[in-house]
Protein backbone atom coordinates (compact mmCIF):
# COMPACT_ATOMS: atom_id res chain seq x y z
CA UNK A 1 0.00 0.00 0.00
CA UNK A 2 1.23 3.48 -0.89
CA UNK A 3 1.69 5.16 2.48
CA UNK A 4 0.12 8.63 2.63
CA UNK A 5 1.72 9.84 5.86
CA UNK A 6 4.12 12.71 5.08
CA UNK A 7 3.40 12.44 1.35
CA UNK A 8 2.81 15.72 -0.47
CA UNK A 9 -0.60 16.06 -2.11
CA UNK A 10 -1.91 18.88 -4.30
CA UNK A 11 -5.69 19.30 -4.57
CA UNK A 12 -6.95 21.72 -7.22
CA UNK A 13 -10.40 23.20 -6.76
CA UNK A 14 -9.73 22.56 -3.09
CA UNK A 15 -11.69 25.40 -1.50
CA UNK A 16 -15.10 23.73 -1.63
CA UNK A 17 -17.10 20.58 -2.36
CA UNK A 18 -15.25 17.43 -3.41
CA UNK A 19 -11.91 19.23 -3.38
CA UNK A 20 -12.26 20.46 0.20
CA UNK A 21 -13.44 17.05 1.41
CA UNK A 22 -10.38 15.52 -0.25
CA UNK A 23 -8.04 18.02 1.38
CA UNK A 24 -9.44 16.97 4.77
CA UNK A 25 -9.20 13.27 3.91
CA UNK A 26 -5.50 13.51 3.04
CA UNK A 27 -4.80 15.57 6.15
CA UNK A 28 -6.48 12.86 8.20
CA UNK A 29 -4.04 10.38 6.63
CA UNK A 30 -1.07 12.49 7.71
CA UNK A 31 -0.28 13.90 4.27
CA UNK A 32 1.15 17.35 3.64
CA UNK A 33 -1.43 19.14 1.53
CA UNK A 34 -1.49 22.05 -0.88
CA UNK A 35 -5.00 23.42 -1.16
CA UNK A 36 -5.17 25.19 -4.52
CA UNK A 37 -8.04 27.20 -5.96
CA UNK A 38 -8.64 30.26 -8.13
CA UNK A 39 -10.76 31.70 -5.28
CA UNK A 40 -8.01 33.14 -3.13
CA UNK A 41 -10.23 34.44 -0.33
CA UNK A 42 -12.04 31.14 0.25
CA UNK A 43 -8.91 29.09 -0.33
CA UNK A 44 -6.91 30.95 2.30
CA UNK A 45 -9.86 30.82 4.70
CA UNK A 46 -10.18 27.04 4.40
CA UNK A 47 -6.43 26.44 4.65
CA UNK A 48 -6.31 28.51 7.82
CA UNK A 49 -9.30 26.64 9.26
CA UNK A 50 -7.61 23.29 8.65
CA UNK A 51 -4.18 24.12 10.08
CA UNK A 52 -4.98 22.31 13.31
CA UNK A 53 -5.56 19.11 11.31
CA UNK A 54 -2.11 19.01 9.77
CA UNK A 55 0.41 20.60 7.42
CA UNK A 56 -1.60 22.53 4.82
CA UNK A 57 -0.84 25.59 2.74
CA UNK A 58 -2.77 27.53 0.08
CA UNK A 59 -1.45 28.31 -3.40
CA UNK A 60 -3.65 30.23 -5.83
CA UNK A 61 -3.94 28.84 -9.35
CA UNK A 62 -6.32 29.09 -12.29
CA UNK A 63 -5.94 25.67 -13.91
CA UNK A 64 -6.85 27.03 -17.34
CA UNK A 65 -3.57 28.99 -17.35
CA UNK A 66 -0.46 26.93 -17.95
CA UNK A 67 1.96 29.30 -16.23
CA UNK A 68 -0.12 29.33 -13.04
CA UNK A 69 -0.26 25.53 -12.94
CA UNK A 70 3.48 25.32 -13.59
CA UNK A 71 4.06 27.73 -10.70
CA UNK A 72 1.74 25.69 -8.46
CA UNK A 73 3.74 22.51 -9.02
CA UNK A 74 7.11 24.23 -8.71
CA UNK A 75 6.17 26.14 -5.55
CA UNK A 76 4.88 22.93 -3.97
CA UNK A 77 8.13 21.11 -4.72
CA UNK A 78 10.14 24.04 -3.40
CA UNK A 79 8.12 24.26 -0.17
CA UNK A 80 7.69 20.56 0.65
CA UNK A 81 10.51 18.97 -1.36
CA UNK A 82 8.39 16.81 -3.67
CA UNK A 83 5.05 16.30 -5.40
CA UNK A 84 3.81 12.81 -4.57
CA UNK A 85 0.07 13.07 -5.32
CA UNK A 86 -1.92 15.35 -7.60
CA UNK A 87 -5.70 15.42 -7.64
CA UNK A 88 -6.78 17.27 -10.79
CA UNK A 89 -10.16 18.18 -9.36
CA UNK A 90 -10.92 21.72 -10.51
CA UNK A 91 -13.73 21.91 -13.04
CA UNK A 92 -16.91 23.64 -14.11
CA UNK A 93 -20.28 22.43 -15.36
CA UNK A 94 -22.26 23.72 -18.32
CA UNK A 95 -25.74 23.10 -19.70
CA UNK A 96 -27.38 24.14 -22.95
CA UNK A 97 -28.28 23.04 -26.44
CA UNK A 98 -25.25 22.40 -28.65
CA UNK A 99 -26.55 24.40 -31.64
CA UNK A 100 -26.80 27.50 -29.46
CA UNK A 101 -23.43 27.03 -27.74
CA UNK A 102 -20.89 29.72 -28.59
CA UNK A 103 -17.30 28.77 -29.29
CA UNK A 104 -16.22 30.90 -26.32
CA UNK A 105 -18.59 29.02 -23.97
CA UNK A 106 -17.38 25.68 -25.32
CA UNK A 107 -13.73 26.65 -25.01
CA UNK A 108 -14.15 27.84 -21.41
CA UNK A 109 -15.29 24.36 -20.37
CA UNK A 110 -12.50 22.69 -22.33
CA UNK A 111 -9.82 25.03 -20.94
CA UNK A 112 -10.72 24.32 -17.33
CA UNK A 113 -11.86 20.69 -17.39
CA UNK A 114 -9.52 19.27 -20.03
CA UNK A 115 -6.56 21.62 -20.44
CA UNK A 116 -6.33 21.92 -16.65
CA UNK A 117 -5.78 18.16 -16.39
CA UNK A 118 -3.12 18.33 -19.11
CA UNK A 119 -1.24 21.20 -17.44
CA UNK A 120 -1.37 19.62 -13.99
CA UNK A 121 -0.30 16.19 -15.23
CA UNK A 122 2.48 17.61 -17.42
CA UNK A 123 4.24 19.45 -14.62
CA UNK A 124 3.50 16.85 -11.95
CA UNK A 125 5.15 14.16 -14.08
CA UNK A 126 8.27 16.32 -14.40
CA UNK A 127 8.55 16.52 -10.60
CA UNK A 128 7.57 12.90 -9.95
CA UNK A 129 10.24 11.63 -12.32
CA UNK A 130 12.83 13.43 -10.18
CA UNK A 131 11.74 11.70 -6.98
CA UNK A 132 10.99 8.18 -8.20
CA UNK A 133 7.26 8.23 -8.85
CA UNK A 134 3.87 9.35 -7.65
CA UNK A 135 0.14 9.29 -8.29
CA UNK A 136 -2.02 11.49 -10.52
CA UNK A 137 -5.76 11.27 -9.91
CA UNK A 138 -8.18 12.96 -12.28
CA UNK A 139 -11.73 13.99 -11.57
CA UNK A 140 -13.73 12.72 -14.52
CA UNK A 141 -17.51 12.34 -14.25
CA UNK A 142 -20.36 9.99 -15.02
CA UNK A 143 -20.77 12.33 -18.01
CA UNK A 144 -17.37 11.23 -19.20
CA UNK A 145 -18.85 7.72 -19.46
CA UNK A 146 -22.40 8.34 -20.70
CA UNK A 147 -24.06 11.06 -22.74
CA UNK A 148 -26.28 13.87 -21.49
CA UNK A 149 -28.36 15.73 -24.10
CA UNK A 150 -27.66 19.23 -22.79
CA UNK A 151 -24.04 18.79 -21.69
CA UNK A 152 -22.17 18.77 -25.01
CA UNK A 153 -19.04 20.66 -23.87
CA UNK A 154 -18.99 18.95 -20.48
CA UNK A 155 -19.36 15.50 -22.09
CA UNK A 156 -16.50 16.37 -24.44
CA UNK A 157 -14.19 17.53 -21.65
CA UNK A 158 -14.85 14.67 -19.23
CA UNK A 159 -14.78 12.01 -21.94
CA UNK A 160 -11.35 13.33 -22.83
CA UNK A 161 -10.23 13.08 -19.20
CA UNK A 162 -11.10 9.37 -19.13
CA UNK A 163 -8.79 8.61 -22.06
CA UNK A 164 -6.11 11.08 -20.96
CA UNK A 165 -6.02 9.06 -17.74
CA UNK A 166 -5.36 5.82 -19.64
CA UNK A 167 -2.70 7.42 -21.81
CA UNK A 168 -0.87 8.89 -18.83
CA UNK A 169 -0.99 5.58 -16.96
CA UNK A 170 0.46 3.66 -19.90
CA UNK A 171 3.14 6.16 -20.75
CA UNK A 172 4.57 6.62 -17.25
CA UNK A 173 4.11 3.22 -15.60
CA UNK A 174 7.81 2.59 -16.22
CA UNK A 175 8.57 5.68 -14.13
CA UNK A 176 6.52 4.39 -11.18
CA UNK A 177 3.87 7.02 -11.86
CA UNK A 178 0.29 5.83 -11.62
CA UNK A 179 -2.74 7.62 -13.01
CA UNK A 180 -6.42 6.85 -12.43
CA UNK A 181 -9.68 8.77 -12.29
CA UNK A 182 -12.82 8.99 -10.22
CA UNK A 183 -16.17 9.57 -11.96
CA UNK A 184 -18.65 11.09 -9.51
CA UNK A 185 -22.38 11.00 -9.94
CA UNK A 186 -24.33 14.06 -8.88
CA UNK A 187 -23.02 15.23 -5.52
CA UNK A 188 -24.61 17.48 -2.91
CA UNK A 189 -22.42 20.57 -2.99
CA UNK A 190 -22.50 24.17 -4.13
CA UNK A 191 -25.66 24.74 -6.14
CA UNK A 192 -26.61 21.05 -6.26
CA UNK A 193 -29.13 20.89 -3.44
CA UNK A 194 -32.88 20.75 -2.89
CA UNK A 195 -33.24 24.44 -2.14
CA UNK A 196 -31.39 25.60 -5.23
CA UNK A 197 -32.81 23.11 -7.74
CA UNK A 198 -36.41 22.73 -6.59
CA UNK A 199 -38.28 19.99 -8.47
CA UNK A 200 -35.27 19.27 -10.69
CA UNK A 201 -33.49 17.96 -7.58
CA UNK A 202 -35.96 15.07 -7.37
CA UNK A 203 -35.36 14.38 -11.08
CA UNK A 204 -31.61 14.02 -10.38
CA UNK A 205 -32.23 11.75 -7.40
CA UNK A 206 -34.40 9.50 -9.59
CA UNK A 207 -31.44 8.94 -11.93
CA UNK A 208 -29.50 7.26 -9.11
CA UNK A 209 -30.79 3.75 -8.27
CA UNK A 210 -29.44 4.06 -4.75
CA UNK A 211 -32.11 6.70 -4.15
CA UNK A 212 -30.04 9.77 -3.28
CA UNK A 213 -27.21 11.98 -4.44
CA UNK A 214 -23.67 11.51 -3.27
CA UNK A 215 -21.79 13.56 -0.70
CA UNK A 216 -18.27 14.99 -1.18
CA UNK A 217 -16.74 12.71 1.45
CA UNK A 218 -17.71 9.62 -0.57
CA UNK A 219 -15.77 10.89 -3.57
CA UNK A 220 -12.83 11.89 -1.38
CA UNK A 221 -12.74 8.39 0.12
CA UNK A 222 -12.32 6.94 -3.38
CA UNK A 223 -9.52 9.39 -4.22
CA UNK A 224 -7.65 8.25 -1.11
CA UNK A 225 -8.25 4.60 -2.09
CA UNK A 226 -6.76 5.23 -5.54
CA UNK A 227 -3.73 6.91 -4.00
CA UNK A 228 -3.12 4.03 -1.58
CA UNK A 229 -3.58 1.07 -3.93
CA UNK A 230 -0.26 0.55 -5.72
CA UNK A 231 -1.68 -1.97 -8.22
CA UNK A 232 -4.36 0.43 -9.45
CA UNK A 233 -3.70 2.48 -12.57
CA UNK A 234 -5.31 3.42 -15.86
CA UNK A 235 -8.93 3.04 -14.78
CA UNK A 236 -11.86 5.31 -14.03
CA UNK A 237 -13.95 4.38 -11.00
CA UNK A 238 -17.60 5.50 -11.05
CA UNK A 239 -18.87 6.60 -7.65
CA UNK A 240 -22.39 7.23 -8.77
CA UNK A 241 -25.05 5.35 -6.82
CA UNK A 242 -25.62 3.07 -9.80
CA UNK A 243 -26.17 5.87 -12.35
CA UNK A 244 -23.98 4.33 -15.08
CA UNK A 245 -25.20 0.77 -14.43
CA UNK A 246 -28.51 1.47 -16.16
CA distance 60 to 63: 10
Closest to 187 in 3D by CA, of 163, 165, 204, 209: 204
Number of helices (H), then strands (E), belonging to the chain: the values are 9, 7
CA distance 111 to 63: 8
Residues tagged active-site: 154
The answer to whether 86 touches 134, Cβ cutoff 8 Å, is: yes
CA distance 2 to 191: 35
Amino acid sequence: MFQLKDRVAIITGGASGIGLATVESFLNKGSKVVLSDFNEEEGRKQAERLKDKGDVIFIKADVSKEEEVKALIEQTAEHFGSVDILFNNAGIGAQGEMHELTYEEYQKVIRINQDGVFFGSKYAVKEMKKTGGGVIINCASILGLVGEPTAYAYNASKGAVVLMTKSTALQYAKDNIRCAAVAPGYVESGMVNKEALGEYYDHLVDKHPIGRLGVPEEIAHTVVFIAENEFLTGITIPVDGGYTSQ
